[in-house]
Each structure stands twice: as C-alpha cells, then as structure tokens.
Amino acid sequence: MTDRTEERPDARSGSGARVEVVGLSAGYGRTTVLHSVRLTVEPGGWLAVIGPNGSGKSTLLRSVLGFHPHEGQVRVDGAPTTGMTRKDRARCLAYAPQAPVLPEGITTEDYVLLGRTPHRPLLAAPRGVDRRIVADVMERLGLAPMAGRPLTTLSGGEQQRAVLARALAQQPRVLVLDEPTAALDLGHAQQVLDLVDRLRRQDGLTVLSTLHDLTLAGQYADRLALLAEGRVVASGSPDEVLTAQALSTHYGARAEVVHGPSGPAVLPVR
Amino acid sequence: MTTTTPGTTGPAVARPARRRRPGVAVGCGVLALVLAVLAGIWVGALPLPPGAVVVTLADRVLSVFGGHLSGGLAETQAAVLLELRLPRVVLASLVGAGLAVAGAAYQGVFRNPLADPYLLGAAAGAGLGATLVIAYSPVQSVGPVGIVPLAAFVGALLGVGAALLLGTATGGSHSPTLLLAGIAVAAFLAAAQTLVQQRNTDDLRRIYGWLIGQLGSSQWSDVVLVLPYLGVSCAVLLCCGRALDVLAVGDDEATSLGVHPGRLRLLVIVAASLATASAVAVSGLIGFVGLVVPHIVRRFVGGSHTLVLPLSLLVGGAFLVLADLIARVLVAPAELPIGVVTAFVGAPFFAGLLWAGARRR
C-alpha cells in the first residue's frame, strides 16, 4: 500500500488556499457585467457573495473558475490560475453549480467517481485509491446507502449532497458553490450549509459561494461581499455588510436587520 | 475492494441498481455477435450443412499453416460460403458495429437521445456524392475502388466537415449551435441531391437502391476497403468512454474537472464521422441501427459510456447480421432492402423494450 501516503486516501483535502481576485472585469458581448472586482478569501474562510438578481454573482464565480472570459487576475495562494493547466486548476478548485446536469442511467457512486477525473489520466480506469476516497466521501455525506442507486432517483437534497460529494472527491483546496441551497427547503438548506461548514472546519477548506438567502449567508459565511451592478459595494463581516441601509440602497428592499446570537437576521417589513 | 453493495438498502421504489459486472455484459455481447455471425453463415437461399461449414473454415485457416482437413463442403458450396456469404456477413457486422458505436458517440457528445450518425450531414453528403457519380460519372471505378463508395465516403466527410466549420465559426464548439449547423448543411445537401436525382430519372432506380442501403453485392474488397478506417475510428471511440462520461455533466462542470470539452467533442465527432462515412460508403444509408442500438444497450447496462460504446459495437454488428439474414431469406430467392428490414424488425422490438421498461417502473 505505497499509494496511501501520497494520495491521502481519507479524502481530507489539503489545507485551504488563499483566493485573491484582482481587477476582474467580465461581460457578455459589449455589455460589461463585472467592473474591476477585488476580493480576497482567507485560507479556511467562507466568503459569500450576495447581491440582487443580475448583479453578476454567477458570472463572478464562473470567471473565477475560468469558464468565462475575463480581464484581471485570479490567484490561488499567489499563483495566477491562468498559468495553471486545466488539470492543476481542477485539483485546486472544485465547483458545484446552481443547476447541475445529472446524467441519466448512472449510479450515484459512478457520478461521485467523476470527481477523481483530475487525479488520473482521462482514459484510465479508476484505481483502488479513487474508490476508497469516493467511499469515504460518500460515507461522510451520508450517501453510502445510495451508492448503487441511479442518481436521478435520489431526492433533491440527496442530489445536492451527491454534487457536493463529487466536488469533495476532487480533494480541492477551494470549494466554489453557486447557490448551493437554491432548490432546497429551509431544513435541507440548513443541512447542506451545516455540512459545508463542518467540512470547512474539519479540513480547513476555503469556501467561496453565492447565497441569495441573506440570513443564511450571514449565519454561515464569515465574510460577505455585496455585489451591485457588477461592483463590490460592501465587504466585511456579516454585521458590517448586512445593514438596513445597504438593503434599501442596493436591493430596493424594506427590511430590518435583527442581530441575533448566530448572526444578523434580515426581517422584511411590509 | 471497498465498494459497497448497493440496491439492498434503498427504498423499494428505486429501480434495481445497474451494477452487473461489466465483464458479463461484454461477454453476452460477444456471444450474441458470434451466434448472429454463425446463423448468418448457415442460413440462406442455398442451405449449407453447419458441420461442413465449420470444417471448411477450419481447413482454410489450417491451410495457411500447411495443414489440411477433409470432409468440408463441395466446391460450389464452398464458393458460396467463401465468396458470397462470408464477406457479406463480415461486412454486415462491420457496418452495423460502426454505425451503432458512432450513434452512441453522437448521442453522448450532443447529450441528445435523438442524435444518430447521420445527424451532422454525413448521410446527406454521402447521398449527394453517390447520386452525382451514379448520374454523371463516366467511369465505374478508380483503380480497384468503386466510384460510388469513394464518392459516398468523400461526400460524407465533406458534409460533416462543412457542418463542423459552420458550427465552430458561428458558435464555438457549443453543441446546440453545432447541431443546428448540421441541420442546415444536411438540408442544403439533401436539396442538391434531390435536384440531381430529379434531373436524371433514368438512374432513379440505382440511386434509390443505394439510398435505402444494400449489402447484396458485398465482396472481400469492400471489407478490405473499410476495415482500416472503421478499425481506427472504433478504437478511438472505445477509448473515449470515460471522457464522454465526464462530458455528460455539462461543459462547465467538465471544465471544472480538468477536461477540455471543445477538443474532446471534436475528437469524438471526427472519429464517429469517419466510422459513419466508411460504413455508408459500402452499404448506403442503412437507417435505425445507429439510433436505436445504443438505446437498446442502455436499457440493459445503464448510461455509462465505458459500457455503452463497446456493447453498441457488438450488438450493432449482431443486429445488422440478423437483419441482413432476414432480408435474404424472407422472400428468397429475391431480397428485401436491408434498410427496410432494420426498421421493420427493430421498431417493434424497440417499442416492446420501451413498454417493458415503463411497466417495470
């Protein structure tokens, strides 16, 4: 078992990396959607990008991941991602999209195994170490009983966990989550966010996510960045960013911000 | 092995887990192909005694090493076997295998269950090429190669090439744009083909006969002609199974897994189109195989391309050999067009599978 030492078969990722976004601009055609965005996520931190619809949250994540053409730089522990191969980038950043494409007719285990793609040649079969890592990740996420079931027969919450499991099987240093709770009810949303928080604390993973639910964002992320019309208009701790004034200015919303024990809560006012 | 045993712990509503051993599935596919080929050799207008067929074939193999077996077929029967039936069965299995694996690859790469090998203009291009030379060519062959297969092959590749050029120039390798480009090219080429056909009604019968597909004039030279292209393209496609599984999660996610979806898609399309072009060159436009065989295979082994591709190859070969067998014997000594048989036999069979699948749920 020589591969145990080099492959970290317990599926714990390496410590989280610092993510820096510097002067990032991006657009569609002639429309500029992001204007010189600057963000930093500390190693092991959780930055949630919030902002009204159309403010450029998803474009920001897609640019950070290199899916979308952009100007400016994204650095992971100081290294610009433009200098990395796709494979190196995939070993460092894992992505769970808002509306994942779930292939028909494959088992949950085979789906999670796709997360091992950046760790072996594209044409090679999964090795024992890949299967061990996948089994371990599925165990941690409570997916072990569903391993052999077709992915499309899982419930919404289970599917969201399967997508997360696939991302974790990449053994990334940074987890990029686009609206991880978009399709979930409150209970399942909390389950998923608790899970992400636990993974972050246990493995020291860095998390960069968008979250449209402001109260959940304030409770789970340790830093928030408020994006409006493609610019970062506020960033800092949840208490600093979530203010009635900011919600009124950028969301056009009437709301009070109540400071509870687990963070600021946004209470809409009629 | 740390893989957990599935199925038993899931709720009763779940369909049974599709985790049969891959080796068993491939073994069944090989067996189906072997049985189909044997049936294709034994059965025909002139019945050949199965034992003597095996002895004759063994004798031919042994004669390479200087051996000899007695008790084989009489000379005329041996000629029927070796010069008519065997090349036809071999060609049918090659064409069926190539079309089915290309169909599975197209469906995977476009994430579209309705995709088939003729989607991107291969059929329309081949049709135009064949029609042009049947109507206008003064020569029947170029060297040992017939002019019609050659024109069909070139036409198919040009059709797909035009679709790829148009698609990538207008929308990158993004698959919906590519599909639409394929439809535009196919429509244009089909219109040109119809025009040529209408202006040459004397050749209508030959053109039509080619368009609906035929294996009646199969010779060993056809086998030699397509084998290198089919061999290379099928080998490339079989290697791409895992890559197609990654592509199944969508371009963004495939990129986030370290894959280059655009390049991968291009490689698969080129390989699948080469397989299609070589199959079409020697057999005309045999429909249904490339569309339906991959679906039949998926019903049994699930959606992973690492299994769907090799099994489509085997089942496609077996399917076309059997369809050709039916085409030969049903109205013997006349023959039915193979393209009619594939749909006539395949459609009810597929409908039955759909029905059984719906009931199982």
- Confidence tier at B6 by pLDDT (50, 70, 90): very low
Query: Is B233 a member of any domain?
Result: yes
B219 to chain A nearest CA, in Å? Answer: 36
Q: What is the pLDDT of residue B5?
A: 38
Query: What pLDDT sits at residue A2?
Result: 40
Which residue in the set B10, B242, B304 is minimally distant from A149, CB to CB?
B10
| pLDDT above 90 (res B76) | no
**Coil, strand or helix at B40:** helix
Chain A hits for B260, CB-CB cut-off 8 Å, are 86
Provide the residue range defining the domain that includes B328: 86-351
Q: Which of A67, A122, A135 comes nearest B243 by C-beta?
A: A122
Residue B259 is nearest to which of A86, A105, A145, comparing CB atoms? A86
How far apart, in whole angstroms, are the C-alpha atoms of residue B109 and residue B141? 36
Q: Residue B325 pLDDT > 50, yes or no?
A: yes
Query: Does residue B20 belong to any structural domain of this protein?
Result: no
CA-based nearest distance A29→chain B, Å: 13
Does residue B315 lie in a domain region? yes
Whether B303 maps to a domain, the answer reads yes
pLDDT computed for residue B20 by the predictor: 54
Range B173-198 average pLDDT: 88
Contacts of A95 in chain B (CB under 8 A): 252-253, 256
In a domain, B48, yes or no: no
Domains (range + CATH), chain A: 3-240 (3.40.50.300)
What is the least distance, in Å, from the CA of A128 to any CA of chain B?
7
Question: Among all residues of chain A, which has the CA nearest to that of B259?
Answer: A86
Domain count within chain B: 1
Q: CB B126: neighbour CB atoms within 10 A?
A: 34
Taking the Cβ of residue A100 and every Cβ of chain B, the question of whether any pair is shorter than 8 Å is answered with yes
Q: Is residue B15 part of a domain?
A: no
- Say yes or no for a CB contact (<8 Å) between B259 and A122: yes
The answer to the question of residue B53 being in a domain is no
Q: Which residue has the tokens 């991959």?
A: B294
pTM: 0.86
DSSP states along B273-311: HHHHHHHHHHH----SHHHHHHHHHHHHH-S-HHHHHHH
Longest Cα–Cα distance in chain B: 70
Best of A122, A137, A152, A178 to substitute, by most chain B Cβ atoms within 10 angstroms, is: A122
pLDDT top residue among B353 and B94: B94
Contacts of A107 in chain B (CB under 8 A): 6, 17-19, 302
| Neighboring chain B residues of A149 at a CB cutoff of 8 Å | 6-7, 10, 14, 17
In this structure, the number of other CB atoms found within 10 A of the CB of residue A58 comes to 17
Confidence of residue B94 (pLDDT cuts 50, 70, 90): very high
Question: Is A67 in contact with B255 (Cβ distance < 8 A)?
Answer: yes
Q: In a 3-state reduction of DSSP, which class is residue B172?
A: coil
Predicted local confidence at residue B200, as pLDDT = 87
CB contact under 8 A, B4 and A144: yes
Say if B26 is an interface residue toward chain A (CB within 8 Å).
Answer: no
B73: in domain = no
**Residues A123, A125, A128: CA angle, nearest 5 degrees:** 150
Kindly state whether A144 is in contact with chain B, defined as any CB-CB distance less than 8 angstroms.
Answer: yes
Note the pLDDT of residue B1. Answer: 37
List of chain A residues with pLDDT < 70:
1-14
pLDDT bucket at B7, cuts 50 / 70 / 90: very low
- CA–CA dist A121, A115 (Å, integer): 13
Interacting residues of B176 by C-beta distance below 8 A, sequence separation 6+:
none
* Percent residues over pLDDT 70 in chain B: 93
- Across the interface, whether the CB atoms of B4 and A109 are under 8 A apart is answered yes
Mean pLDDT for chain B overall? 85
Instruction: Give the integer Cα–Cα distance in Å for B184 and B285.
Output: 19
Beta-carbon contacts of B81 under 8 Å, excluding residues fewer than 6 positions away, are B41, B48, B53, B56, B57, B73
What percent of chain B has pLDDT above 90?
A: 41
Task: Tell me whether B6 touches chain A (CB under 8 Å).
Answer: yes
**What is the DSSP-derived secondary structure letter of residue B217?**
T
pLDDT band of B361, cuts 50, 70, 90: low
Give the CA dihedral B74, B80, B85, B86, nearest 10 degrees: 60
Give the orientation angle of helix B86-110 with respect to helix B220-239, to 10 degrees.
30
Q: Are strands B145-146 and A70-76 parallel, antiparallel or unpaired?
A: unpaired
* Inter-chain residue contact A118 with B258, CB threshold 8 Å: yes
Residue of B nearest to A124 (CA): B242
Q: Which residues of A touch B295 (CB under 8 A)?
A: none
CA B314/CA B291 separation, integer angstroms:
15
CA distances, B327 to each of B216, B292, B352 (Å)? 10, 19, 21
Strand runs (DSSP E) across chain B, as ranges?
141-142, 145-146
pLDDT digits (tens, 9 = 90+) for B266-323: 899 999 999 999 999 888 889 889 999 999 999 889 889 999 999 999 999 999 999 9
Residue from B220, B223, B213 nearest B84 by CA: B220
Question: Contact, B257 vs A115, CB < 8 A?
Answer: yes
The reported pLDDT for the residue numbered B54 is 84
Name the residue facing A106 among B4, B10, B302 (closest C-beta): B302
Amino acid identity at B253: E
* pLDDT tens per residue, range B18-67: 445 788 999 999 999 999 999 999 888 787 888 888 888 888 888 888 77
Please tell me the predicted confidence (pLDDT) of residue B57: 85
Q: Mutate which of A4, A62, A92, A146 to test chain B, going by most B C-beta atoms within 10 A?
A: A146
C-alpha closest to that of B254 among A40, A89, A83: A89
The predicted complex's ipTM stands at 0.86
What is residue B155's predicted lDDT score, i.e. its pLDDT?
A: 93
CATH code for the domain of B212? 1.10.3470.10
pLDDT value, residue B106: 93
CA proximity to B248, closest of B309, B296, B182, B317: B309
- Residue in chain B closest to A113 (alpha carbons) equals B246
